[in-house]
Amino acid sequence: MFDRSVRFSAAIAAVVIFTAMAGSVQASTIVKMQFSLGLASPPFDTVFLELFDDTPATQANFLNYVNDGDYNGIIMHRLIAGFVLQGGGFTWNGASFDHIPTDPPVVNEFGRSNLRGTIAMAKVGGNPDSATSEFFFNLGDNSANLDSQNGGFTVFARVLGNGMDLIDAFATLQTFSVAALSDVPLFNGNTFLAMNDVSVVQLRVGDTDLDGAVTQADADLLTTTLVGGTDEPQFDVDASGTTDQADLDLLNALLLGDTNGDGFVGIEDLNLVLGAWNQLVPPADPAADPTGDGFVGIEDLNAVLGAWNAGTPPPPGAPGAIVPEPVSLAWMGLGALALLRRRA
Ligand SMILES: [Ca+2]
Ligand SMILES: [Ca+2]
Ligand SMILES: [Ca+2]
Ligand SMILES: [Ca+2]
C-alpha cells in the first residue's frame, strides 16, 4: 500500500520533528493558590498567578516561601474593599495570630504599575527595602497611590484567566477586628479565609482553561481567545511569545496525537499506532486510529509525530507514565526501524 519513499519520509520526519520540538517550551513560572473558600458555581477556589521575570529578587524571595510550604494555612488578614486583599503573614493559633518566620527583607524592585489584578509585596512604611513574606492583591487601579509611596510597591505577579472573579467575591466578605488586627475578612462572621495550598505548577501545554487536562474545551477556548486577543501564557501553546493560529494548530495536533489520552504525546502513543499497524478498526483499538478513517497507517503515525513531545508527561509511576525522554527517542528510532523492516 505504501512505497518505500513514503516510509522513509516518515522516519526522517520523526527525527526532524523531535529536533524542532525538544526543549522548545519555555513557560512562565505559574503559582497556584488554593483557598479555603470558593465560589459555589462553578466550583472555583483556586487562582493561578504568573510571576514576572523582571523582578528576580522578589520572585526568588516569594518562591522561597512557596517552596518551603510557608504559605499553606496562611490567613488573608486584611481586606479593604476596592483597594487591597492582603495575606502571606499570619496563621491563627486559636487565640491570636502568629507571624510566620520571615527570611531577610528583599530589595525593592518597583517597575510595573499597581493595576487591578496584579500582586505586590507589602512592606514597612518609610523603608522601601523591607518586604518579607506579606503580599496583596490590587483590587482596583492603585497606581496613583502605590506606585509612588515608599519607593513604589513592587508588583511581581498577576492573576491569570478569570481568577479575579474569585478575588472579587472575597472582597465582598465583611471585615472584623480580630485579636490585634483590624479589617480581617470573615465568612459568616466566624470563618477565616485561608490559603490551603500554594505551590508552583507546571503549565500543561495546551491547557488553556487551567483545569489540569487538555481537552477539546481548551481548543474551543483558544478559538474564542484568538478573536478577542490575549497575552496570557497558557494560550501561547508553542511558547513563541505571541498567541495566534499556530497555537491553535498545535493544540489540535496535540489533541489528535495523544492517542492514549494522558495529556502527553510520546512513546505510548507511538506504540499504540505501531502495535495496530496496517490493521482495520476493529479489530484494532480505535485509539490507534486518531484520524478515524478505520485504518491504522501512515496518517495516524504522522498525527502522533506531528505533535511529538507536546503536553506534560504524567508523573513516574502514574498510569501511562513514560520512560525518560532520551530512552523514548531510542525507542522511537527502534519503532521506526521495525516499521521499515516490517514493510520492507
Ligand atoms: Ca483544560
Ligand atoms: Ca504562540
Ligand atoms: Ca499520550
Ligand atoms: Ca487512520
Question: Lowest-pLDDT range, 145-149, 200-204, 219-223?
Answer: 200-204
Per-residue pLDDT, averaged over 330-340, amounts to 45
pLDDT for 148: 96
Residues around ion ligand 1, judged by CB within 5 A, are 207, 209, 211, 213, 218
Query: Comparing C-alpha atoms, which of 179, 231, 257 is closest to residue 14?
Result: 257
Which domains are present in the chain?
Answer: 4-25+205-343 (no CATH), 30-201 (2.40.100.10)
Query: Comparing C-alpha atoms, which of 21, 22, 18, 13 is closest to residue 299?
Result: 13
Query: What's the 151 CA to ligand 3 centre distance in angstroms?
Result: 50
Helix, strand, coil in percent for the chain, rounding step 5 = 35, 20, 45
pTM above 0.85, yes or no: no
Q: Which pLDDT tens digit goes with each residue over 160-197?
A: 888 898 999 999 999 999 999 999 999 999 999 999 99
Does pLDDT of 319 surpass 50? no
Does pLDDT of 213 surpass 50? yes
Query: What's the 253 CA to ligand 2 centre distance in angstroms?
Result: 14
Question: Cell numbers 491504522 correspond to what residue?
Answer: 296
- Residue 327: which pLDDT band, with cuts at 50, 70 and 90? very low
Per-residue pLDDT, averaged over 114-133, amounts to 97
- Residue 8: which pLDDT band, with cuts at 50, 70 and 90? very low
Query: What's the 153 CA to ligand 1 centre distance in angstroms?
Result: 34
pLDDT for 43: 57
Q: Which pLDDT tens digit goes with each residue over 192-212?
A: 999 999 999 877 788 888 877
Rounded Cα distance between 71 and 90, Å, is: 9
Strand (E) positions, the chain? 30-39, 44-51, 74-75, 78-80, 84-87, 90-92, 97-99, 118-121, 135-138, 155-159, 174-178, 181-187, 191-192, 194-201
- Residue 325: which pLDDT band, with cuts at 50, 70 and 90? very low
**How many C-beta atoms lie closer than 10 Å to residue 318's C-beta?**
10
The ligand whose atoms approach the alpha carbon of 218 most closely is 1
Percent of the chain with pLDDT over 70: 82
Does pLDDT of 216 surpass 80? yes
Does pLDDT of 94 surpass 90? yes
Query: What's the 212 CA to ligand 3 centre distance in angstroms?
Result: 15
The ligand whose atoms approach the alpha carbon of 284 most closely is 4
Query: What's the 294 CA to ligand 4 centre distance in angstroms?
Result: 6
Best-predicted range by mean pLDDT (70-79, 222-231, 316-325): 70-79
Does pLDDT of 26 surpass 90? no
